[in-house]
Amino acid sequence: MNLKILEDINSPEDLRKLPAEKLQEISAALRKFIIDIVATKEGHLGASLGVVELTIALHYVFNTPQDLLVWDVGHQAYGHKILTGRRENFHTNRRLNGISGFPKREESEYDTFGVGHSSTAISAALGMAIASNLKGEFKKHHIAVVGDASIASGMAFEGLNHAGVTKANLLVVLNDNAIGIDPSVGALKQYLTKARVGFKPKQSNIIEALNFKYFGPVDGHDIAGLLEVFEQMKQIEGPKFLHVITIKGKGLKKAEEDQVKYHAPGKFKPDTGELLPYDTAGLPLKYQDVFGLTLVELAKNNEKIIGITPAMPTGSSLKFMMQAFPERAFDVGIAEQHAVTLSAGMATQGFKVFCAIYSTFLQRAYDQVIHDVAIQKLPVVFCLDRAGLVGEDGATHHGVFDIAYLRCIPNIIIAAPSDETELRNLLYTAQLDLKLPMAIRYPRGRGVKIDWETPFEEIEIGKARCLKEGDEIAVLSIGNMAQNAAEAIKNIKTEKIGHFDMRFVKPLDEELLHIIFKKHKAFITIEDGTVTGGFGSAILEFAAKHDYKAKIKNLGLPDEFIEQGNINELQEIAKISVEYIEEEIVSLLQNL
C-alpha cells in the first residue's frame, strides 16, 4: 500500500489536479492511514471508514472550501481532516492542544460548521445556502452529509421541512449504513431498509419528496458512480436529496462485522483489526454499568420501572435492561426531546421511568424537562451519565452545565453520588414513592469501589453526609469530586479540615449547612461542572440568604469551554485536580 500518494495531497485543490483514475488508489491509502492512526491513537473509527469514497468524491467534484460542506455529528470526518491539510498533525486528534475529534471552524476553513451533537448539519447548511442567495452567490453549493440515525432526529426534519420551500442550493447526502452507534431504530429505519434491499447501484431515479429532488439509493463506495451523480447534482437547482448506501467500518473486516464495538474500538492491531485488550480484572466497574446492572436488579422487583435511551443503549448500559426486560426498555433513536416527553407521558400513567441521557445531550431537551416534566411534577428519573469533564470528546461533549441548567428549575431534585454504592442507593431511592422529578448525575468512566453491590439503602432526599470531622475549614464536595477532595485533604497533615459530601445540589441539606456555617471559618466548594450557577453558587446563595460572613472559595469549571484532552489534564486546566484543591486548602489554612 502506497501511503506516499497522500503526501502530495495537502488540500482538495491538490486532489482535484489528479485524474479521476487515481481516486481509487487514494481511497485505499486514505483508508489505511485512518486505520493505522486510530489503531494506536484511538478515536472514532467505523464512521470514517464508511465515508472514505464519499469524502474524496465530495472534495473532488465540489469546489471546497468555496462550496460549503457540513458533516453531521462530525465523527466521520477523519478523512475530511486528513485531506484538508491536517494529515501531518492528525496524530494529535482528540489530544490536549491537538486537533478536535470533530470539525471545528477555528481549526480550518474547510470545517464550515462546528459539530459533535447530531442532526444540525441540514439546518446549518440551509442557513448558509439562504445566506449565499441573499449575497447573490447563486452558484455556490451547500452540502450536508447526514447519517441514517442522525436524520431521524427532530431537528433534521425541521431543516428538511424548511428547505423544501426555499430555492436554496442545498444537497442533503444521506449516508445510510443502517446503524447509529447501536442499530438504528424506528419507522424511518424500516423504510430505508426496504430501499436498501436489492438496490441496484447506478439506478438513480429522480422523485420528489418534501419538494426535494430525491436521488438514489446509490453505492457510497463506488467512486466513479459518486463522481457521476455529484456532477449531475451540480446542474440541478434547489434542494436535492441523495440517498447513499455505505458500510460502517468499510475496509476493515472486524469493523464491518462488529460495527457497534468499532464505532470507537480503542487500540487495535491495524493489519487484523484485532482489539488490544487491556486487563480490567480488579478494576472498579464503569459507572454506566453500575447504573445498567442496578436498574435490572430494581426492575426485577418493581414492574413499574421503565428504561429509556435516545440512541445510546451501549454507551449508557441501558442495554442490560433492554436484554432483560425488552418490553420495558426503549431505544427511541437520536431523539432526546422525544425521550423526555415520552417518559413524562409514561409517568402520568404511574410508571417510574429512568431516562438515561448523557448530560450534554440532555441540553437538547431542556424545554421538555421544564415544560413536560417539572411543571407537572412528574416523577421521571434523569440518569445523567457523562456528567462533568468527559475527556477526548472535548467541549461539545463535556457534561458540565447540567447542575447550572437544572438548578434553576422548580420541583426538581438534583443528586450526585460520590461513588458507585451511592449511585446504587440513589437509583433505589428514586424508585420508591418519590413524587418529584429527580436528576442523578455521574461521570464517564470507572468508579472507585470494587464492593459496590451492598444491600440497598434508602437515602433521605436532601441529606448530606460528613466524611471527615474538622472545625476550621469545611470542604463541601458534590458527586465524584469527593474523591479528589478526600485525596487532597489526606495529603495535608492537619485535623482542621472537615469534608462533607453534599450529595444533593437541590434541595441542599440546610440543617447541616447551618451547623457548618456556625462552626467553620472558611469554605471550599468543589464541583465537576461550571461554577457559573453551579453547586458553589447554591452555597453562596445560602450564605447570603442567612447572612453568613464566611470566606467561600468555589472550585469548578471557569466560564469558558474546556477543549479535549485526558481527564487528568483537563481537571488541572479546570482547577479541580487533587493538586489544585490541596493548594487552595493550604492557602486558606495559612490565611485563617
Ligand X SMILES: CC(=O)[C@@H](O)[C@H](O)COP(=O)(O)O
Ligand Y SMILES: Cc1ncc(C[n+]2csc(CCOP(=O)(O)OP(=O)(O)O)c2C)c(N)n1
Cβ proximity of 201 and 246 under 8 Å: no
The nearer residue to Mg ion, 72 or 392, going by C-beta atoms, is 72
Q: Out of 31, 32, 59, 75, point to the residue binding ligand X (CB under 6 A).
A: 75
Residues 238-267 that bind ligand X (CB under 6 A): 264
User: 441 vs 444, which CB is nearer to ligand X?
Assistant: 444
Residues 196-225 that bind ligand Y (CB under 6 A): none
248 as an active site residue: the answer is: yes
Q: Which of 181, 427, 485, 486 binds ligand X (CB under 6 A)?
A: 181
Q: In the annotation, is 457 catalytic?
A: no
Helix (H) or strand (E) holding 189: helix 187-196
Minimum distance from residue 383 beta carbon to ligand Y (Å):
15
C-alpha cell of 195?
Answer: 430501499
Annotated binding site for Mg(2+): 148, 177
DSSP codes, 48-75: HHHTHHHHHHHHHHS-TTTSEEEESSST
390 binds ligand X (CB under 6 A): yes
Q: How far is the CB of 500 from ligand Y (least distance, A)?
A: 35
> Is-contact 103 113, C-beta < 8 A?
yes
260 binds, among ligand Y, Mg ion, ligand X, none (CB under 5 to 8 A by kind): none
For the chain, how far is it from start to end, CA to CA, in angstroms?
67
389 scored as a contact of ligand X (CB under 6 A): no
The distance of closest approach from Cβ of residue 263 to ligand Y in the complex, given in angstroms and rounded to an integer, is: 7
- Kindly write out the interface string for residues 65-94 of this chain, putting x where it contacts ligand Y by CB under 6 A and - elsewhere: --------x-xx------------------
DSSP, res 82: I
- Which of the listed partners (ligand X, ligand Y, Mg ion, none) does 364 bind, with a CB threshold of 5 to 8 Å by partner kind? ligand Y
- Whether a cis peptide bond, with omega within 30° of 0, leads into 65 is yes
Annotated binding site for thiamine diphosphate: 75, 116-118, 149-150, 177, 336
Could you tell me which residues come within 8 angstroms of residue 94 by beta carbon, excluding any fewer than 6 positions away? 41, 42, 43, 100, 101, 392, 393, 394, 564
Site string for ligand X, 187-226 (x = CB under 6 A): ----------------------------------------
CB 391 → ligand X: shortest distance, Å? Answer: 8
In angstroms, rounded to a whole number, what is the distance separating the alpha carbons of residues 101 and 591? 43
239: left (phi over 0), alpha (psi -120 to 50) or beta: beta
For residue 249, give the amino acid letter: G
Indicate whether 419 belongs to the interface with ligand X (CB under 6 A).
Answer: no
User: Using CA atoms, how far apart are residues 151 and 83, in angstroms rounded to an integer?
Assistant: 25
Please identify which of the residues 42, 53, 256, 336 carries the catalytic annotation.
336
Quick one: 136 exposed, middle or buried, by C-beta within 10 A (0-12, 13-18, 19+)? exposed
Torsion angle in degrees (nearest 10) through CA of 67, 68, 69, 70: -170
Residue in 6, 70, 126, 179 binding ligand Y, rule: CB under 6 A: 179
Size of the residue set binding ligand X (CB under 6 A): 11
**Of 104, 319, 364, 506, which one is the catalytic site residue?**
364
Contacts of 428 (CB under 8 A, 6+ apart): 294, 298, 456, 457, 458
Query: 136 to 195, contacts with Mg ion by CB under 5 A?
Result: 147-149, 177, 179
- The least CB distance from residue 149 to Mg ion, in Å, is 5
Cα–Cα nearest to 402, from 340, 373, 360:
360
Task: Tell me how far the alpha carbon of residue 579 is from its chain's centroid.
Answer: 28
Angle ∠(384,387,391) on CA atoms, nearest 5: 140
Nearer of residues 156 and 497 to ligand Y, judged by Cβ: 156
β-pair type (305-309, 522-530): unpaired
328 among known catalytic residues = no
Q: Which residue number has the CB closest to ligand Y? A: 147
Q: How far is the CB of 88 from ligand Y (least distance, A)?
A: 25
Q: Does 149 bind ligand Y (CB under 6 A)?
A: yes
**Catalytic annotation, pick one of 94, 140, 248, 250:** 248
CA angle 141, 89, 561 (to 5 degrees): 75
Under the binding rule (CB under 6 A), the answer on residue 556 touching ligand X is no
Q: Which active-site residues does the annotation give?
A: 248, 336, 364
Site of interaction with Mg ion (CB under 5 A): 147-149, 177, 179
